[in-house]
Amino acid sequence: MAALLTSLVALAVIGGLLALRHPALAHPTSQTGPVPKRQEATPLRPRSRVSVLVLNGNGMSGVAGTTATRLLGRGYHSATATNAAVDSYATSLVLYRPGWEREAQRLARDANIRVVAALDGRLPAGSGRDQLVVIIGAN
C-alpha cells in the first residue's frame, strides 16, 4: 500500500512540474501568448462581376432562357442560355471554376438549387469567360 501511495505522490509531483513548465497543461482552456490572427476570407465578389452559363439539361424548351433572365434580374453580369450536351439530368446543379465556390453557393441559393460542385468537365465553345455554370435538370 505504501508503494502505491508513493507512486501516486510521485505522479502528482511530476504532473505539477509539467504544469509549471507548460502553463497550458495546467489550464487547457487558457491561452498562452498572443492570439493568432484569423485569416480573413476573400470578399465575396458582387453579382455584377460574375458570369454564368445556364445549360438546359432536361429537354424542356425555354427553361435555360427563363433561368438566365431571372439571374440577370438578380444582378449577375451575364447569364448566357444554351442547351447542355445531354438532356437527361435528373437534378439541377451549380458548377464552379477554382476559386469561385462561395459565389457558386450564393448562386445556388439565388436559383433555389441544392447541388453545388467543382467544375471538372468540358464546356461548350465560347464559355471560357463564365465562372459559374447552372445545369437545369428535371427537378
DSSP state letter for 129: T
- Is residue 110 included in any domain, yes or no? yes
Number of compact structural domains in the chain: 1
Residue with the larger pLDDT of the pair 45 and 15: 45
pTM comes to: 0.69
Q: What is the pLDDT of residue 42?
A: 80
Q: The domain containing residue 66 runs over which residues?
A: 47-136
Each residue of 34-63: pLDDT tens digit? 666 565 678 999 999 999 999 999 999 999
Sequential DSSP letters for 75-108: T-SEEEEEE-S-S--SS-EEEE-TT-HHHHHHHH
CA distance 50 to 121: 20
Residue with the larger pLDDT of the pair 23 and 117: 117
Q: What is the pLDDT of residue 17?
A: 37
- Is residue 34 included in any domain, yes or no? no
Mean pLDDT across the chain: 80
- Is residue 23 included in any domain, yes or no? no
Per-residue pLDDT, averaged over 24-28, amounts to 45
Model confidence at 128: pLDDT above 50: yes
Each residue of 103-119: pLDDT tens digit? 999 999 999 999 999 99
The CATH number linked to 58 is: 3.30.70.2390
